Structure formats: structure tokens, C-alpha cells
């Protein structure tokens, strides 16, 4: 696996893929480790997770530089990502016990009926390059603490991040085999998921990858959680704080180079404030500093790979040919590296790529709509359903409209984000299942009913 720095186009490192023999050893080690790990007191697993958070903080500069070098994330955003991973570790170290506490149910006198949450076993995580640490810890922090063990199949352009994450758990004191990064190709995922020792899988990625995982898992009757693409609407109503909406919107679209499933991608603005919003929005977008991702003043670095930039530009060109107007940006930057500028498209035609496809880069599509009902209709006019952002100063109005938006989460007067305190996930083509919070830690557990009684009632029919 060759690592190409997207800011320079130069190869900076190379890693050997794991052999079939090494993968087999990892499976055997994980199976053995699970039998001990699942019986480790939860308090001890929480303590180890807290230690992992400490390791992350102690080495955040090193891990951030690895991220930036491998996929181009601006260094300050990379440091923030490591800190967010440490926060997730802190959260589950503090709350896992309460999240996994048994639920008690009504039952006859003299009996106790409850649901307990037990781990499933080895879980395969197939993770993307765009948030190479956060996506993994979003999976690992809850699932390992619940008593599962994990395999990471990371994106092939971030092998250094994959191995660094394995190092975090090793340095924190986790037993051998509880977490392993496997440097393997995507072609090997099907066989790995088909192995009886792997009990479940989670994927963050494209719709095609999600369908492939779901199909193989379904054939083998294995639980999956999928977080797929998004084309999140950013709805600006007539009473919105336009300066805040424009400034936050510029960041919501362009942070991480616009390479985020939950980035604001379709800006739906009511006619009454459309012109003023577009002016403010374009100004805010133009103020973002594009440059060397190792420079702390940089807001946006390169795209993660040249082929991703090329695909994005093809979508922009096709949308412009169909009738979209470029307000700013729209052409790759004439400089070394995979740089694409923050871009704003208006007059986006129905059916064009900017209208119907996920643009995984710094390109915003802005729509003019007549009013509130048309705004919600346009917001829902997508195959995706990951997140949505609503902008209005009337919170009663916002709460009413939030129920009409087809998405896994709705944020009012904020950008969409994932937060360990609340469940995260999508609907429709954006996937299924939930990560984070109490829902997330329970996804890969056996919800086992336990019924206790002192004196069996032999007269009750059994069915």
C-alpha cells in the first residue's frame, strides 16, 4: 500500500499488505481473546478505554500529522479529530456501565424478568479515509467496551492511521487480539465476513460498498450497521439569522475539504432572503484559506486523492453544462497537489449531478424556493436521509418542521455533527442502525431475556 501525499503528489511511504497466514493468525487470536475479554469486568474495560483516551491526547500531534500527510486534512482539524476521539473514549469510560445496565420488565410476583446485554464476538469494521481516526473510534470505543473484539479494515490510502490506531489500544494496555488493523484489499472483505469467527460488521462508506457488505452478511445471518452517503439539506427560512447561517454554512460545506457524509450539500433558501443569503454565503466561502494542510492557518487543504478531484470536477462540469451557474470556484486550482476550490452553484437544474448525486467535495448547490412547505419538499427530494440543518429563529416552528424532514438527525441553527452523547445514523439510502450513545453501544450485543423465579408455575401452558 503506497501512501501518496495529496498536497504534493509524492509517495511518502509504503506498507506491505498482511498475508493470508497473518490474517488467519489474527482471527485465531481474536477468537481466543474474546473468551477472556468478554468476562473482564466492565469497570476494567472502562478503565482501559480511559487509558486509550490518554494515549490519544499524549500523541495527538503525531497522529494528526499522519492524517494530514495521508489524506490532506488541515493540521488543526486533524488535531481536533484526535481530541474528539479522546472525548468519545472519556464518554464511554464514564457511561458504558449505565448504558449496559440490565432493563427490568413487568413480571408476576416472585419472579424477575430482565434484558441483559452481552457481546457478540469479533466485529469487522470497514472504515473510510475522510475521518480516519474518528470513524474508527466511533466504532471501537463502544463496541470493545461492550465486550466485543474488533478488526479494522481501513481505507487503503490511510494505512499509517490504521496502524497508529492499533498502537493506541496496545499502548493503553489492551490484551493482544482485542483490536487488530488488517492491511488487506477490499477483495478480501467478503471472505473475512463469511468466516464463522466474525460475528458482525459495520461499514461507513458508499452505497455500493454497503450493499455488498449487507448482502454477504445477510447470506451468513450476521448483524450489520451501515452509515452510507448523504446529500444533507441546509434549509434557510425567512426569519433566519442570515449572517450566522451563511458563516456556519460555509464551514458546514467545506470543513475537511467538503469530504464528509454529513456535510451540508444542498442549500435550500426561501425566496424572501435568497439573494442576501447567497451574497453572504459566497463571501464566507471566498474567505476560507486554501493551502498547505500542514499550515495552521489553512482552512482547506487538498482533496484526498487526484481521482476523487477528477470525479468531482466532472460532476461540476456536467451540472454547469445542464444550466447551473458558478458563483465562485468551479475549476481545479493551478498548483501542485489535488486542490479544488470552495465552489458555489446556483440555478441548479433538476436531474443534474449537483441535484441528484452526492458531491463529495467542496461544492455547494443552492436552491431558491417559494416558502416553508416548498423548502421541506425540496429537502426531502433525495434518495439520502442522513442529516439536515434548519435555520429559523422560531424554535416552535423548527420543532414542527423537524418532524417533516426525512433524515436520521436534524440540527436547528447548527451544522450537522456526530456527538457521542446522542445516537447517529441515517435512513433511506444513507443506511441503517445507530452509532454512539446508548443505542450505539447496544447494536452489537445479544439482548438476552433472563426470567428468574423461585417456584415454577406448572399450570401455565408453555408456547
- Band (pLDDT 50/70/90 cuts) for residue 3 is very high
pLDDT at 55: 98
Buried b (16+ CB within 10 A) or exposed e, 370-401: eebeebbebbebbebbbbbbbbbeeeeebeeb
Distance separating alpha carbons of residues 53 and 58, to the nearest angstrom = 9
Question: What is the share, in percent, of the chain residues with pLDDT greater than 90?
Answer: 98
Mean pLDDT, residues 354-373: 98
What's the pTM? 0.96
User: Boundaries of CATH 3.40.309.10 in the chain?
Assistant: 232-412
pLDDT at 380: 98
SS (H, E, C) 302-342: CCCCHHHHHHHHHHHHHHHHCCCEEEECCCCCCCCCCCCCC
Instruction: State the average pLDDT for the chain.
Output: 97
Q: What is the pLDDT of residues 85-123, one digit of tens each?
A: 999 999 999 999 999 999 999 999 999 999 999 999 999
Residue tagged active-site, from 85, 89, 161, 261: 261
Q: What is the pLDDT of residues 223-239, one digit of tens each?
A: 999 999 999 999 999 99
Grid look-up 490510502 returns 157
Mean pLDDT, residues 360-377: 98
pLDDT at 155 over 80: yes
pLDDT at 212: 96
Instruction: Supply φ then ψ for residue 411, to 5 degrees.
Output: -110, 130
pLDDT at 459 over 80: no
Cβ neighbors of 156 (< 8 A, separation 6 or more) are 1, 185, 186
Domain 2-228+430-450: top CATH class? alpha beta
pLDDT at 428: 98
pLDDT at 455: 77
Buried b (16+ CB within 10 A) or exposed e, 407-442: bbbbbbbebbebebeebbbbebbbbbbbbbbbbbbb
pLDDT at 400: 98
Residue 161 annotated in active site: no
Residue tagged active-site, from 227, 327, 358, 406: 227
pLDDT at 101: 98
SS (H, E, C) the chain: CEEECCCCCCEEEECCCCCHHHHHHHHHHHHHHHHHHCCCCHHHHHHHHHHHHHHHHHCHHHHHHHHHHHHCCCHHHHHHHHHHHHHHHHHHHHHHHHHCCCEEECCCCCEEEEEEEEECCEEEEECCCCCCCHHHHHHHHHHHHCCCEEEEECCCCCHHHHHHHHHHHHHHCCCCCCEEECCCCHHHHHHHHHCCCCCEEEEECCHHHHHHHHHHHHHCCCEEEEECCCCEEEEECCCCCHHHHHHHHHHHHHHHHHCCCCCEEEEEEEHHHHHHHHHHHHHHHHCCCECCCCCCCCCECCCCCHHHHHHHHHHHHHHHHCCCEEEECCCCCCCCCCCCCCEEEECCCCCCHHHHCCCCCCEEEEEEECCHHHHHHHHCCCCEECEEEEECCCHHHHHHHHCCCCCCEEEECCCCCCCCCCCECCEECCEECCECHHHHHHCCEEEEEEEEECCCCCCCCCC
pLDDT at 463: 63
Alpha-carbon distances, residue 9 vs 12, 81, 305, 335 (angstroms): 9, 24, 9, 11
pLDDT at 421 over 80: yes
User: Boundaries of CATH 3.40.605.10 in the chain?
Assistant: 2-228+430-450
Q: What is the pLDDT of residues 390-418, one digit of tens each?
A: 999 999 999 999 999 999 999 999 999 99
Q: Which of 210, 238, 230 lies closest to 405 in space, CA to CA? A: 230
Pairing of strands 2-4, 11-14: antiparallel
Cβ–Cβ under 8 Å, residues 142 and 441: yes
Answer positive or negative: Cα dihedral of 417, 418, 422, 427.
Answer: positive
Which grid coordinates are listed for 124? Answer: 469487522
Cβ–Cβ under 8 Å, residues 269 and 261: no
pLDDT at 221: 97
Which grid coordinates are listed for 46? Answer: 472502562
Instruction: Supply φ then ψ for residue 359, to 5 degrees.
Output: -95, 105
C-alpha distance across the termini of the chain, in Å: 56
Q: Which residues are registered as beta bridge partners of 193? A: none
Cβ–Cβ under 8 Å, residues 200 and 120: yes
pLDDT at 7 over 60: yes
Distance separating alpha carbons of residues 143 and 443, to the nearest angstrom = 8
Instruction: For the domain made up of 232-412, give the CATH fold.
Output: Aldehyde Dehydrogenase; Chain A, domain 2 (3.40.309)
pLDDT at 144: 98
pLDDT at 454: 87
Q: What is the pLDDT of residues 50-70, one digit of tens each?
A: 999 999 999 999 999 999 999
pLDDT at 302 over 90: yes
Residue 435 annotated in active site: no
Mean pLDDT, residues 362-380: 98
Cβ neighbors of 412 (< 8 A, separation 6 or more) are 389, 390, 391, 392, 395, 398, 399, 402
pLDDT at 458: 65
- Band (pLDDT 50/70/90 cuts) for residue 460 is low
Distance separating alpha carbons of residues 274 and 268, to the nearest angstrom = 9
Q: Which of 75, 57, 56, 55 lies closest to 65 in space, CA to CA? A: 75
pLDDT at 462 over 60: no
Amino acid at each position: 500500500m503506497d501512501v501518496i501525499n495529496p498536497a504534493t503528489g509524492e509517495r511518502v511511504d509504503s506498507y506491505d499488505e498482511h498475508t493470508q497466514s497473518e490474517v488467519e493468525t489474527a482471527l485465531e487470536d481474536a477468537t481466543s481473546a474474546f473468551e477472556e475479554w468478554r468476562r473482564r469486568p466492565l469497570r476494567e474495560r472502562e478503565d482501559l478505554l480511559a487509558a486509550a483516551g490518554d494515549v490519544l491526547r499524549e500523541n495527538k500531534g503525531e497522529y494528526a500529522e499522519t492524517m494530514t500527510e495521508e489524506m490532506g486534512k488541515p493540521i488543526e482539524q486533524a488535531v481536533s479529530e484526535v481530541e474528539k476521539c479522546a472525548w468519545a473514549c472519556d464518554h464511554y469510560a464514564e457511561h458504558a456501565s449505565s448504558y449496559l445496565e440490565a432493563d427490568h420488565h413487568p413480571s408476576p410476583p416472585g419472579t424477575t424478568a430482565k434484558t441483559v446485554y452481552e457481546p457478540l464476538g469479533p466485529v469487522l469494521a470497514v472504515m473510510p479515509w475522510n475521518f480516519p481516526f474518528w470513524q474508527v473510534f466511533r466504532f471501537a470505543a463502544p463496541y470493545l467496551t461492550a465486550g466485543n473484539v474488533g478488526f479494522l479494515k481501513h481505507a487503503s490510502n490511510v494505512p499509517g492511521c490504521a496502524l497508529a490506531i492499533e498502537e493506541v489500544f496496545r499502548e493503553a494496555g489492551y490484551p493482544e487480539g482485542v483490536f487488530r488493523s488488517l492491511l488487506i484489499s477490499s477483495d478480501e472483505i467478503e471472505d473475512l465476513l463469511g468466516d464463522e469467527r466474525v460475528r458482525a460488521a459495520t461499514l461507513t462508506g458508499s452505497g455500493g460498498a454497503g450493499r455488498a457488505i449487507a448482502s454477504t452478511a445477510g447470506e451468513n445471518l450476521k448483524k450489520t450497521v451501515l452509515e452510507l452517503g448523504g446529500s444533507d439539506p441546509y434549509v434557510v427560512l425567512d426569519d433566519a439569522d442570515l449572517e450566522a447561517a451563511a458563516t456556519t454554512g460555509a464551514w458546514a460545506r467545506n470543513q475537511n475539504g467538503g469530504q464528509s457524509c454529513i456535510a451540508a450539500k444542498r442549500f435550500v433558501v426561501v425566496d424572501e432572503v435568497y439573494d442576501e443569503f447567497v451574497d453572504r454565503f459566497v463571501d464566507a466561502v471566498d474567505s476560507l484559506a486554501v493551502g498547505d494542510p500542514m499550515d495552521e492557518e489553512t482552512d482547506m487543504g487538498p482533496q484526498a486523492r487526484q481521482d476523487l478531484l477528477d470525479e468531482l470536477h466532472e460532476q461540476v462540469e456536467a451540472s454547469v453544462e445542464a444550466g447551473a451557474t458558478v458563483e465562485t470556484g468551479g475549476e481545479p486550482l493551478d498548483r501542485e497537489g489535488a486542490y479544488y476550490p470552495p465552489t458555489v452553484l446556483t440555478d441548479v437544474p433538476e436531474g443534474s449531478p449537483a441535484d441528484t448525486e452526492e458531491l463529495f467535495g467542496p461544492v455547494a448547490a443552492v436552491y431558491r424556493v417559494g416558502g416553508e412547505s416548498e423548502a421541506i419538499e425540496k429537502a426531502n427530494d433525495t434518495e439520502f436521509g442522513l442529516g439536515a440543518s434548519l435555520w429559523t429563529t422560531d424554535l416552535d416552528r423548527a420543532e414542527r418542521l423537524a418532524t417533516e424532514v426525512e433524515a436520521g438527525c436534524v440540527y436547528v441553527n447548527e451544522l450537522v455533527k456526530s456527538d457521542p452523547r446522542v445516537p447517529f445514523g441515517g435512513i433511506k439510502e444513507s443506511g441503517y442502525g445507530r452509532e454512539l450513545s446508548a443505542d450505539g453501544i447496544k447494536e452489537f450485543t445479544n439482548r438476552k431475556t433472563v426470567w428468574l423465579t423461585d417456584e415454577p408455575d406448572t399450570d401455565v401452558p408453555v408456547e
